[in-house]
């Protein structure tokens, strides 16, 4: 459904005290997600995952490679055709507090895009109201209670549900959820993640979950794929559960090791290691592996040569590391052991 | 790692902050509502105590009250907050209070970028703080700031010369910790210190907080809604809901054997990396708004799966269910 091929995007550097060189937000990223499938894009702040999400929604340009939506390249499309194609891919923002107009009630937030949709699909105005009610029920809100409320009267979780309902007004085929739960209370996150998983199943939507929270990605894409991005480059990709239980790339291992261990409920994974803090490097980037400046396993070869994505094991795992080794870094639940 | 949970009753000398019968209320057009209701809590010297709860549970209001910084329309209605060697701060005059904040107790705010002046370099703001606290040797604060910056793996000279927009989120969070620590307070309050950070920065900031807490013999209070942060950092955890304490226990005990249905539900709601997916269950309903909080009975009953008639009629009080483990629930919930 969505395919990106060798996608590259470079932002021109800013001046100022910490004058920066050009930032390569994406370096030859290739990914594919089919209808009804789920993909988790994980990486830390600034790794390019948000840029990637914005590009596949048509909100950001790219300088190299291509984006294909339903096998159609978006490069050659005119404005009108472009709008039509990108209507199939809707973005859920991180911040539900700023994604809704505070001066308009929820009914308006849904009815405006629904009117456009009604005109495009030649439906009448009774459909608009009825559809707004349907969509609110679909995202797990009580329509009668929610319709005439204003955003400030809703909790973070409810607001994000409204944003999801609004994205569904144009009947998309894919949702790109960019840190969609990171600003919501932990207690309510699971409800929103569960909703995304349900919509994926019931509406046959493709879901791309962009996040630094691997557990959240697992919840929506447990039977899908994870792609780990570091400095605009995919360093590891494969089946979600296999990446979590046996990550090969040291950066994936660092991300997974950094997840807090619920001591009392869980014990540290046997190979867990505390990742190196980000090193502030000025000037040129390393010639070799981009992660070599922070990697605890890096040697001179890593610093001098750039690893390409290659196959690992007999599954469909891809990784870019000269010293690949499976390590079990995630915490192990003791629940079962305790009960036994 | 810190030593095992304290099992012996504490003498007064081991308590750094003692909150007694604290109520903080907000005046609204429809009446006076308690954001914190009759809350009592002793914070042990040298401990890291986490206050956990959802949005609107009153945890940030509690932190503000602990610096006597609740602003209109909020007000500390009743109660006392005693700091060791200072006394009840609800009675302090404006000047003593100003000195108390920063020199005795300091806070790191959630949105750290909003607490830094965008028009001044970090170093200049540190000097401002030295001036307002009447330090004779103002250069000393820059030395202290640089020392702290290096301790937090920040390039000291660059950070001191930087404006806040030139720093990344993780760096800004560490800079606001420098501000909180520069006057060498004994008590540090951290309000959601890692909420805006990604998982690697969070892990790093938590390591720094733990290390500095131990090096400087601080008493640290951590406000958070993330049980992972609690597990990683705190010795003790206080679970709040609707302005009341639901459970208060050593962190490991609470994670392993929560008693209150709310604490159980909070822990169950954490998405996990291993095990069956349905091990995590969403917490039904939404947190109460201020004006919805019932006056009589258990405040959690609307979201509780074990609700009984007594929960509507009688307000549960905190009682000891295990050594050093208190909960406010009528039911004999097994651990």
pLDDT tens-digit map of A307-320: 999 999 888 899 99
Residue B296 touches chain A, beta carbons under 8 Å: no
Mean local confidence (pLDDT), A247-273: 91
Task: Dump the DSSP string for A118-151.
Answer: HHHTT--HHHHHHHHHHHHHHTT--HHHHTT--G
CA distance B181 to B150: 13
CA distance B167 to B77: 40
Task: Say whether B274 and A44 touch across the interface (CB within 8 A).
Answer: no
Please indicate, yes or no, if residue A94 is contained in any of the structural domains: no
Handedness of CA A181, A187, A193, A199 (dihedral sign): negative
Predicted confidence band of residue A19 (pLDDT cuts 50, 70, 90): low
Question: Within its chain, how far is the Cα of B228 from the centroid?
Answer: 15
Residue A23 touches chain B, beta carbons under 8 Å: no
Residue B180 touches chain A, beta carbons under 8 Å: no
Please indicate, yes or no, if residue A97 is contained in any of the structural domains: no
CA distance A231 to A285: 11
- Percentage of chain A beyond pLDDT 90 is 68
User: Which of A171, A191, A217 is the endpoint of a domain?
Assistant: A171
Give the tens place of pLDDT for each residue, B209-260.
Answer: 999 999 999 999 999 988 989 999 999 999 999 999 999 999 999 999 999 9
The answer on pLDDT for A105 being more than 50 is yes
Shared domain for A126 and A254, answered yes or no, is no
Tell me the H-state helices in chain B: 59-66, 94-103, 122-132, 139-151, 156-160, 169-181, 199-215, 227-233, 251-256, 261-268, 309-313
Q: CA distances (Å), B317 to each of B241, B247, B326, in order?
A: 13, 10, 10
Shared domain for A194 and A298, answered yes or no, is yes
Handedness of CA A304, A310, A313, A319 (dihedral sign): positive
Shared domain for A185 and A320, answered yes or no, is yes
Total domains, chain A: 2
Shared domain for A38 and A140, answered yes or no, is no
CA distance B304 to B316: 14
ipTM of the assembly? 0.84
Q: What is the CATH number of the domain that holds A44?
A: 3.40.50.300
Q: CA distances (Å), A126 to each of A118, A170, A171, B11, in order?
A: 10, 17, 18, 71
C-beta of residue A132 within 8 angstroms of C-beta of residue A114: yes
The answer on pLDDT for A168 being more than 90 is yes
Mean local confidence (pLDDT), A107-132: 92
The answer on pLDDT for B131 being more than 60 is yes
CA distance A124 to A54: 32
- Percentage of chain B beyond pLDDT 70 is 95
Chain A contact set for B168 (CB, 8 A): 45-46
Shared domain for A152 and A253, answered yes or no, is no
Please indicate, yes or no, if residue A178 is contained in any of the structural domains: yes
Q: How many C-alpha atoms does A216 have within 13 Å on its Cβ side?
A: 30
Please indicate, yes or no, if residue A93 is contained in any of the structural domains: no
Residue A278 touches chain B, beta carbons under 8 Å: yes
CA distance B213 to B216: 6
Q: Which of B54, B198, B207 sits opposite A187 (nearest CB)?
A: B54
In 3D space, the residue among A174, A161, A167 whose CA is nearest the CA of residue A114 turns out to be: A167
Please indicate, yes or no, if residue A96 is contained in any of the structural domains: no
Residue-averaged pLDDT of chain B: 89
This prediction has a pTM of: 0.88
Task: Say whether A45 and B206 touch across the interface (CB within 8 A).
Answer: no
Shared domain for A125 and A224, answered yes or no, is no
Q: Which residues have CB under 8 Å from A215's CB, separation 6+?
A: A259, B270, B271, B272, B273
C-beta of residue A170 within 8 angstroms of C-beta of residue A91: no
Please indicate, yes or no, if residue A315 is contained in any of the structural domains: yes
Shared domain for A334 and A250, answered yes or no, is yes
Query: Is B6 exposed, middle or buried, given 0-12, 13-18 or 19+ CB atoms closer than 10 A?
Result: middle
Please indicate, yes or no, if residue A255 is contained in any of the structural domains: yes
What confidence score (pLDDT) does residue B5 get? 43
CA distance B159 to B187: 25
The answer on pLDDT for B275 being more than 70 is yes
In angstroms, the separation between the Cα of residue B88 and the nearest Cα of chain A is: 33
CA distance A68 to A84: 14
Shared domain for A73 and A108, answered yes or no, is no
Nearest CA in chain B to A197: B277
Give the tens place of pLDDT for each residue, A211-229.
Answer: 989 999 999 999 999 999 9
In angstroms, the separation between the Cα of residue A257 and the nearest Cα of chain B is: 9
CA distance A225 to A123: 38
Residues 16-45 in B contacting A (C-alpha not used; CB under 8 Å): none
> Hey, of A260, A266, A269, A283, which one would you mutate to test binding to chain B, going by the most B CBs within 10 A of its CB?
A260
Q: Which of A255, A277, A333 sits opposite B153 (nearest CB)?
A: A277
Predicted confidence band of residue A335 (pLDDT cuts 50, 70, 90): low
Nearest CA in chain A to B153: A277
Backbone angles phi, psi at A236, to 5 degrees: -155, 145
Chain A contact set for B200 (CB, 8 A): 44, 212, 254-255, 258, 275, 277-278
Predicted confidence band of residue B95 (pLDDT cuts 50, 70, 90): very high
Question: Within its chain, how far is the Cα of A279 from the centroid?
Answer: 25
Task: Say whether A263 and B287 touch across the interface (CB within 8 A).
Answer: no
Predicted confidence band of residue B2 (pLDDT cuts 50, 70, 90): very low
CA distance B301 to B190: 30
The answer on pLDDT for A193 being more than 90 is yes
CA distance A258 to A269: 11
| A vs B: CB pairs below 8 A | 154
Shared domain for A270 and A225, answered yes or no, is yes
Task: Say whether A263 and B274 touch across the interface (CB within 8 A).
Answer: no
Q: Which of B155, B199, B266 sits opposite A212 (nearest CB)?
A: B199
Shared domain for A288 and A200, answered yes or no, is yes
User: Which of A110, A143, A171 is the endpoint of a domain?
Assistant: A171
Predicted confidence band of residue B7 (pLDDT cuts 50, 70, 90): very low
In angstroms, the separation between the Cα of residue B104 and the nearest Cα of chain A is: 30
For residue B3, the 8-state DSSP code is P
Q: Which residues have CB under 8 Å from A88's CB, separation 6+?
A: A1, A69, A70, A172, A173, A174
Give the tens place of pLDDT for each residue, A28-74.
Answer: 999 999 999 999 999 988 888 989 999 999 999 999 999 999 999 99
Shared domain for A159 and A258, answered yes or no, is no
Range among A26-35, A289-298, B137-146 with highest mean pLDDT value? A26-35
Residue-averaged pLDDT of chain A: 89
Task: Say whether B273 and A189 touch across the interface (CB within 8 A).
Answer: no
Q: CB neighbours (10 Å) of residue B158?
A: 17
Predicted confidence band of residue B1 (pLDDT cuts 50, 70, 90): very low
In 3D space, the residue among B117, B126, B261 whose CA is nearest the CA of residue B180 turns out to be: B126
User: Which of A152, A171, A190 is the endpoint of a domain?
Assistant: A171
CA distance B105 to B98: 10
Q: CA distances (Å), A136 to each of A100, A155, B218, in order?
A: 15, 15, 49
Give the domain extent around A114.
102-171
In 3D space, the residue among A192, A244, A195, A237 whose CA is nearest the CA of residue A218 turns out to be: A244
For residue A152, the 8-state DSSP code is G
Residues 184-243 in A contacting B (C-alpha not used; CB under 8 Å): 185-191, 193-194, 212-216, 218-219, 222
Shared domain for A209 and A261, answered yes or no, is yes
Chain B contact set for A336 (CB, 8 A): 275
Please indicate, yes or no, if residue A304 is contained in any of the structural domains: yes
In angstroms, the separation between the Cα of residue B311 and the nearest Cα of chain A is: 22
Task: Say whether A264 and B55 touch across the interface (CB within 8 A).
Answer: no
């Amino acid at each position: 459904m969505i395919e990106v091929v060798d996608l590259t995007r470079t932002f021109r550097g800013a001046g100022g005290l910490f004058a920066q060189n050009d930032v390569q937000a994406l370096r030859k990223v290739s990914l594919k997600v089919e209808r009804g499938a789920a993909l988790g894009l994980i990486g830390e702040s600034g790794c390019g995952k948000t840029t990637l999400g914005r590009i596949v929604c048509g909100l950001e340009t790219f300088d190299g490679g291509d984006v294909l939506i339903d096998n159609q390249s978006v490069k050659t499309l005119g404005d009108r055709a472009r709008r039509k194609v990108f209507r199939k891919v809707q973005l859920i923002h991180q911040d539900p507090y700023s994604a809704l107009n505070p001066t308009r009630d929820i009914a308006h937030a849904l009815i405006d895009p629904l009117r456009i949709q009604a005109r495009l699909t030649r439906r009448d105005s009774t459909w608009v109201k009825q559809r707004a009610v349907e969509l609110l029920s679909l995202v797990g809100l009580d329509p009668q209670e929610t319709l005439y409320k204003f955003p400030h009267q809703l909790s973070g979780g409810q607001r994000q549900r409204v944003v999801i309902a609004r994205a569904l007004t144009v009947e998309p085929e894919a949702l790109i959820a960019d840190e969609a739960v990171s600003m919501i209370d932990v207690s309510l996150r699971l409800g929103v993640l569960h909703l995304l998983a349900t919509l994926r199943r019931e509406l046959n939507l493709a879901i791309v979950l962009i996040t630094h929270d691997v557990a959240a990605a697992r919840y929506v894409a447990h039977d899908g794929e994870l792609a780990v991005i570091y400095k605009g480059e995919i360093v590891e990709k494969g089946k979600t559960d296999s990446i979590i239980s046996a990550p090969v790339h040291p950066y994936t291992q660092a991300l997974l090791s950094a997840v807090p261990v619920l001591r009392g409920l869980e014990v540290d994974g046997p190979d867990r290691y505390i990742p190196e803090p980000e090193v502030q490097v000025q000037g040129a980037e390393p010639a070799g592996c981009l992660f070599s400046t922070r990697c605890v396993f890096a040697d001179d070869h890593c610093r001098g040569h750039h690893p390409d994505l290659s196959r690992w094991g007999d599954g469909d795992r891809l990784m870019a590391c000269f010293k690949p080794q499976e390590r079990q870094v995630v915490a192990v639940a003791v629940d079962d052991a305790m009960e036994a | 790692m810190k030593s095992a949970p304290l099992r012996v009753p504490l003498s007064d000398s081991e308590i750094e902050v003692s909150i007694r019968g604290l109520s903080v209320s907000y005046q609204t057009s429809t009446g006076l509502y308690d954001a914190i209701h009759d809350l009592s809590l002793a914070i042990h010297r040298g401990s890291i105590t986490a206050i956990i709860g959802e949005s609107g549970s009153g945890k940030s209001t509690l932190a503000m009250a602990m610096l006597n910084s609740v602003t209109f329309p909020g007000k500390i209605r009743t109660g006392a907050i005693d700091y060791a060697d200072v006394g009840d701060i609800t009675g302090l005059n404006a000047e003593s209070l100003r000195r108390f904040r920063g020199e005795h107790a300091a806070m790191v705010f959630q949105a750290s970028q909003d607490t830094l002046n965008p028009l001044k370099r970090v170093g200049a703001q540190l000097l401002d703080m030295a001036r307002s606290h009447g330090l004779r040797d103002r250069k000393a604060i820059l030395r202290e700031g640089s020392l702290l910056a290096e301790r937090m793996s920040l390039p000291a000279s660059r950070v001191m010369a930087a404006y806040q927009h030139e720093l990344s989120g993780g760096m800004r969070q560490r800079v606001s910790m420098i501000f909180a620590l520069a006057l060498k307070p004994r008590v540090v309050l951290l309000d959601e210190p890692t909420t805006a950070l990604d998982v690697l920065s969070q892990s790093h900031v938590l390591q720094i907080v733990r290390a500095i807490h131990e090096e400087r013999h601080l008493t640290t209070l951590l406000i958070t809604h993330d049980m992972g942060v609690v597990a990683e950092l705190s010795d003790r955890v206080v679970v709040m809901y609707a302005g009341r304490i639901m459970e208060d226990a050593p962190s490991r005990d609470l994670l392993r054997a929560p008693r209150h249905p709310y604490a159980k539900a909070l822990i169950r709601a954490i998405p996990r990396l291993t095990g069956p997916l349905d091990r995590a269950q969403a917490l039904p309903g939404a947190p109460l708004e201020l004006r919805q909080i019932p006056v009589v009975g258990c405040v959690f009953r609307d979201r509780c799966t074990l609700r009984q008639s007594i929960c509507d009629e009688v307000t549960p009080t905190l009682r000891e269910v295990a050594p050093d483990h208190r909960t406010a629930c009528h039911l004999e919930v097994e651990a």
